[in-house]
Each structure stands twice: as C-alpha cells, then as structure tokens.
Amino acid sequence: MEILDGKKVSNEIKQEIAVQVAKMREKGEKVPHLAAILVGSDGASLTYVGSKVRSCEKVGFESTLVKMPSTTSELELLNKIEELNKNEDIDGFIVQLPLPPQIDTQKVLLAVDPDKDVDGFHPMNFGKMALDMSTFIPATPFGILELLERYNVDTKGKHTVVIGRSHIVGRPMSILMGRKGWPGNSTVTLTHSHTKNITQIISQADIVISALGVPKFLKAEMIKDDAVIIDVGITRVADDSYEKGYYITGDVDFENVSKKASFITPVPGGVGPMTIAMLLKNTLLARDRHRNRK
C-alpha cells in the first residue's frame, strides 16, 4: 500500500509556483493576485480561507481577504462581487462556501466573472470542463487528478465509483475521471443517497472516491483487494479531549482499509492540502489569461 501524500505533493507544487513567481518579480512583472470573500465566521471556513491567504504569501502571490458579517444580504454580496469583477488588479477570486441561508449560492456563483472564477464553479467554466475545453477545474477534483498523476496511478479502463454528487467534488470528479486521456478513461459510476445496492457497487470498484462527509463510512470489507481509495470527506468531530475541541476524520476507516488498498489518501494530509495548491495553480492561469487579454 502506498499513501498518496497530499501534504508533501502540495508543498512541492507550492515550491514550483514560488519559483515561477520569483522569476516574474525578477522581470518586474505583476505577480498573481487572489482575493477571497468570507461571509460569516464558520470555524472551518475561517481555517480554509486563512490557509489560502497564508499559501499566497508563501508562494509570493498578492492576496486580499474580504470579510463580511453573517447578516450580509444577497445584494450586498453581489455588489462586492461586482467590485472584484471590475478590479483590474485582482486576477481571480473565490467566494468561500457554504454561504449563510439568506443568500442564494447559485445566484452568487453566476455573478462571478468566468475569467476570474478560479474555483471553476461558474456554469460557463463547468460546461467547458465537461466539453474538455481549457478552463479552471474545481480545485478539489483538480487536486485528486494531480495526485493520481504524480503517483502514476493507472486509471485507464478502471471502474471508478464516486460517492456523493456535490457540485464542488462528486459531480465534476465523475466527469473528469471519464474524460479522454490520463488520469481519466475510467468507467464511472456516480452514486448518491438514492443509489440502490451501493455496497455491491462499491465492492466492484477499482477506484473509490468518497465525498460523503460520513465519518468512517467506508470499511475494509466493502472494498476490493488493491482498490485505490480517495477520501474527500473531511469531518470535524467535537471532542473536548483535543486541544482544538475537535478532531478531523475522513469517510474512510483508514486503519483497516489501508491494509487492503493499493493507494490511499489520508485525512488530514491528503486531498485537503491539494485543494489549496490547485487553487494557486488556477490563480496562476487566471493571471496569464488576464495579461494576454490586455
């Protein structure tokens, strides 16, 4: 069994990006600028946005964090997005999800300029991805593809079972794994809460990508020998015996599943850090596109 070490690979990617940014600075060129909008004070979202800003600093990007209160109206958020759309200095930006209930997430994602949509959530970019056109690929699926590639995992002709059909992970992942090329060329089954015989389907999978958010859902007896296991389900479980008041766990019963799998991502330290690294890659792409349009 080999661990797909997202922490290590994400640091390598950040190092590669830092080298490119240093060259831009040497040539006196503008460096990439990422902005993030955070509405409210959800603990996990604060951690992720903080990590995005720190990663920007690490690679030499400029960053802007826009914090808005949890009472922000939809209109106020749409106005802020319009401001960032028009800001020539910002190459790309994200709106951290989830949003408070008074805000319609779909309206918000539609308002982001597709050329600055480094999350790849705008329907234009999602459509381009589905049509194999060059675009921003959502950071978590993009990170999973990168891990599969860097560890040389064979995906051709394999049966990939994706668990969960969220717009951020499951849905795009199912499209990307079925695309032509590598990593891809897989036969994909997208499963969800209405899937019948899900355990039977999982037992036939060569590759399982679980984005369910149910701690330790995937057990060793559910998978095939030598299956590739990708755990996207990062859950914080409240526990006062931990310093932070919680511990982090994935969808996979790592201790037992890892004994049977050929490759497996840990939680923490697997797909999560890759999400941040690939957001930086998308920002680099946004900066290049921005420059070419001028």
Ligand X SMILES: Nc1nc2c(c(=O)[nH]1)N[C@@H](CN(C=O)c1ccc(C(=O)N[C@@H](CCC(=O)O)C(=O)O)cc1)CN2
Active centre residues (catalytic): 52, 96, 119
Find the binding residues for ligand X in span 4-43 (CB under 6 A): none
CB of 246: closest distance to ligand X in angstroms?
Answer: 8
Among 145, 276, 277, 280, binds ligand X (CB under 6 A): 276
If 0-12 CB within 10 Å is exposed, 13-18 middle and 19+ buried, where does residue 94 land? buried
CB of 269: closest distance to ligand X in angstroms?
Answer: 5
- Choose the stretch contacting ligand X; rule: CB under 6 A; options: 47-55, 70-78, 152-160, 254-262: 47-55
SS3 sequence of 73-90: CHHHHHHHHHHHHHCCCC
- CB closer to ligand X out of 40 and 268: 268
Among 275, 282, 287, 290, binds ligand X (CB under 6 A): 275
Residue 166 labeled ligand binder: yes
The DSSP 8-state label assigned to residue 205 in this structure reads -
- Choose the stretch contacting ligand X; rule: CB under 6 A; options: 46-54, 85-93, 159-167, 216-224: 46-54
Which one, of 291, 36, 20, 281, lies nearest residue 136 by Cα?
A: 281
Residue 170 labeled ligand binder: no
Residue 27, C-beta contacts closer than 8 angstroms, at least 6 positions apart:
none
62 three-class SS:
strand
**8 Å CB contact between 229 and 249:** no
Name the β-bridge partners of 94.
36
Locate the DSSP E strands across the chain: 2-3, 33-39, 62-68, 92-95, 159-163, 187-191, 207-210, 228-231, 235-238, 246-249, 263-264
Residue 97 within binding range of ligand X, rule CB under 6 A: yes
Among 140, 155, 160, 174, binds ligand X (CB under 6 A): 140
Tell me how long the chain is: 294
Residue 248 within binding range of ligand X, rule CB under 6 A: yes
Among 47, 71, 79, 106, binds ligand X (CB under 6 A): 47
Residue 112 within binding range of ligand X, rule CB under 6 A: no
- CB closer to ligand X out of 36 and 206: 36
Q: For ligand X, what does the binding mask look like between residues 182 and 221, x meaning CB under 6 A?
A: ----------------------------------------
Among 273, 281, 282, 286, binds ligand X (CB under 6 A): 273
Among 40, 178, 213, 268, binds ligand X (CB under 6 A): 268
- Residues binding ligand X: number (CB under 6 A): 21
Q: How far apart are CA 228 and CA 42, in angstroms?
A: 32
Residue 186 labeled ligand binder: no
**8 Å CB contact between 119 and 139:** yes
DSSP letter string, 116-154: GBTT--SHHHHHHHHTT-S-PPPHHHHHHHHHHHHTT--
228 three-class SS:
strand
Residues that bind ligand X (CB under 6 A): 44, 47-48, 51, 94-97, 119, 139-140, 168, 234, 248, 267-269, 272-273, 275-276
Q: Would you list which residues are annotated within the binding site for NADP(+)?
A: 164-166, 234
